[in-house]
Amino acid sequence: MIIDMHVHPIFFEGICEDEKTLKFREDQFGIFKQSPYPFDEIFAEMDYGKIDKAVLLPEDLTTVSGGCVVTNEEVQKTVATHPDRFIGFASVDPHRKDALDVLDYAFGELKLSGLKLNPSKQKFYPQDERLKAIYQKCIAYNKPIVFHAGMSWEPDAPAKYSQPIHFDEVAASFPELRMCLSHFGWPWVRETMMLLIKYPNVYTDTSMLYLDSPETFFEYIFQREMDRYTMDRNFGSQVMFGSNTPRFRAFKLKEALETVPMRSATREKIMGTNALRFLGLEE
């Protein structure tokens, strides 16, 4: 099974009817050259890339920007329409006074599969004391967290909050918490590598901001930042395929990843097996 761990459903059919909401999404996410598209188109692209499932990530910006890029309810609605293709995550603005109630509803009632947090856009440091109750809530429900890590293209999203080193204390304090530092923490790739070495509960994904072509960029990251055998010998069980759709096309990143030399067993883990374990769905 191939799972795309990093998809933003901001233009998905069925949750784009309101023009004001759509404009808010475009402004907050920083993407303006796309428009809503139907499920037939979404699935055609997934099928072309031989991608079986996509993890849908919302973003709650209630206190910092006055709304949500995509709500937890919209994710649940989308997943309920096509449960064979989508896995839904929740989001919560950590500054909300009702943050824990939001998570209880998202995990208990909406049955969402994990939590997405963006320190840069939501403006918090991961080791902030206020986040501890959120981490404990995720552990209680056995839900993983996908963190934005590294640079963000979203407007008004300072990278300082998401530098991978800030997750060191969190990983150490909460070893039961499965956490993904998205985008390989680019440009701090080696900090992310350090955390992967130290902590088996830390994962990352391949949804990196590529320069030039994705093939050239992946060659640099996986064979120069690392050496030829690093993935096979060290990180094969902690890296997951992710595209950052709609900012990037999933099939293009998947094709680029397929050019990176690695064992077939390692590639199989990256494309899906690691995601199943991260999501708690591994048999």
For 10-21, what is the mean pLDDT? 92
- Tell me what pLDDT residue 283 has: 62
Count of CB atoms situated within 10 Å of the CB of 202: 24
- The CATH number given to whatever domain includes residue 58 is 3.20.20.140
What are the structure tokens assigned to 76, written together?
Answer: 């649940």
For 36-41, what is the mean pLDDT? 93
- Tell me what pLDDT residue 34 has: 82
The total number of structural domains in the chain stands at: 1
What are the structure tokens assigned to 91, written together?
Answer: 């989001």
- The residue segments making up the domain with residue 107 are 3-279
- Tell me what pLDDT residue 140 has: 98
**Rounded Cα gap, residues 256 and 49, in angstroms:** 11
pLDDT in tens, 178-206: 999 999 999 999 999 999 999 999 999 99
**Rounded Cα gap, residues 186 and 163, in angstroms:** 9
Is the pLDDT at 141 greater than 80? The verdict is yes
Pairing state between β 145-147 and 115-117:
parallel
